[in-house]
Structure 1
Amino acid sequence: MSKIVDKKKRRSEIAKAAVDIFARKGFENTTVQEIADRAKIAKGTVYLYFKTKEDILNEASKEILCELEGNLLHSLSRLTDPVEKLSALITEAMTITPEFEQIFIVYMESRLFHLRDREYGTFIKNFEESLRKVRRITVEIIRQGKTQGAFRNDADAEALAFCLFGAFDGVVMQYLHNKSGFDIENVRNEFLKNFFNGLMDN
């Protein structure tokens, strides 16, 4: 009797195995054989699920980003106070899981290639769409805080959302450059304290 294969699970396993190698070696330098070896399957099996490396990258980005979005929405769903909601969003954004670290490294590499007119359009589109969703949530929270009198009335919600995400990028980059000497929890706490000191309507 032939073994029943869960195709969705197998696709996910291949995609996650690929991201691990993409993050360590770079997308361009990774071969399909290396992905197959990491996933412990034959090279030909990879092609049963994906046509190209780009397809694998796109699948991985959708899966990982969807999971991250789900975690964020779950954290926010239990809160009603805009200060607590924005604090939870910032905390979640500055919590660097191994999966996020890998996909972020691949994203930074791909964004550079994309700026140089190389292909990676679908992957970049997936990542940017995820960022837009979270920025919209951030804008809504800040506007809610302004309406309720918790945040300064002159705060520009959209501009602040862009500033926040620029800060997130910078913090993650600094962490990746110097993990052993970077206290991410302390940085996050200091950022929260000083950001809210400026935003709160005291």
Structure 2
Amino acid sequence: MCPKIVDKKLKRQQLVKAAVGVFSERGFKGTSMEEVSLRAGIGKGTIYEYFGSKEDLFYACFDWFMKMTIDQAAEALKECTGSEEKLRTAARVWTEVVIRYIDFCPIPLEVWAMASTGSDNERFSTSLKEMYASFRTSIEEMLREGQASGEFRRDMDVTAIAIMLVSAFDGVLLQSLFDRSIHISSYMNSFLDVLVRGMKPDLRKG
């Protein structure tokens, strides 16, 4: 009888999916590897074949959440032409992810906390620093493209706007976690309407 071939990539994805659910419900400290193994329907020892510790597994959950968001945004942006459309599409994807995966959003909150405290703080702080730098760079590129094409004013500070936009996205996530009645999409659209109007060149000066 031939030995069963295990798809390790698929098995790892199944473990992360199960762990995301448990971490979201119970938090990092309240989650045990035993509970993750039960949720995944595997033996506890199998988890350690893929992840060396609970911290490694938790990091993998955070990595999954962020990559999923980035991949969805990248796919949606392929269809965009102008800079304003790209900016609005990126904001739309982010808000859709927050709405759809609101129950998983406590994971990023715990990562922020672990980035400043805990045994794995350097790992998480470095990851967050790189993540935010990537987000800011992407937005700056959209804004600079808009400046070059004439969509946006040339005298605006693209770095400042990118930083504040990323902060707005974080703020939406935080507030929606504590108040599910907030209409994230409509508020984000209203915010972008005002922002984009301020970034448009004043044609009267031309």
TM-score by length of 1: 0.89
| 1:99-114 alignment runs, 5 A limit | 99=101, 102=104, 104-114=105-115
Query: Matched residues in 2 for 1:97 and 1:36: separation?
Result: 28
**Alignment partner of 1:192 is 2:199:** no
Deviations 1:132-186 (A, max 9, x none): 222111001111111222112221111100100111111111111111x211221
Question: How far off is 1:131 after superposition?
Answer: 2.8
**Alignment partner of 1:85 is 2:114:** no
| 1:12-161 alignment runs, 5 A limit | 12-95=13-96, 96-99=98-101, 102=104, 104-116=105-117, 118-161=119-162
Calculate percent identity across the aligned residue pairs.
31
Amino acid at match of 1:144: E
| Cα pair 1:155 1:199 within 8 Å, conserved | yes
**Alignment partner of 1:175 is 2:182:** no
Name the SS for the 1:27 alignment partner: helix
User: Residues 12 and 99 from structure 1, CA distance in 2 versus in 1: closer, same or farther, beyond 3 angstroms?
Assistant: farther
Which structure 1 residue ranges, 4+ long, deviate > 4 Å from structure 2?
Answer: 97-101
Deviations 1:4-62 (A, max 9, x none): 22111111111121122112211112110011111111111111221101111222233
Q: Which runs of 5+ in 2 are unaligned?
A: none
| Cα pair 2:33 2:44 within 8 Å, conserved | yes
User: Residues 17 and 128 from structure 1, CA distance in 2 versus in 1: closer, same or farther, beyond 3 angstroms?
Assistant: farther
Question: How far off is 1:100 after superposition?
Answer: 6.8
Name the SS for the 2:170 alignment partner: helix
Question: How far off is 1:99 after superposition?
Answer: 4.3
| Cα pair 1:69 1:130 within 8 Å, conserved | no
TM-score by length of 2: 0.87
Query: Matched residues in 2 for 1:114 and 1:64: separation?
Result: 17
Name the SS for the 1:50 alignment partner: coil
Question: How far off is 1:118 after superposition?
Answer: 4.2
| Cα pair 1:54 1:120 within 8 Å, conserved | no
Query: Matched residues in 2 for 1:77 and 1:71: separation?
Result: 10
Q: Which runs of 5+ in 1 are unaligned?
A: none
Name the SS for the 1:18 alignment partner: helix
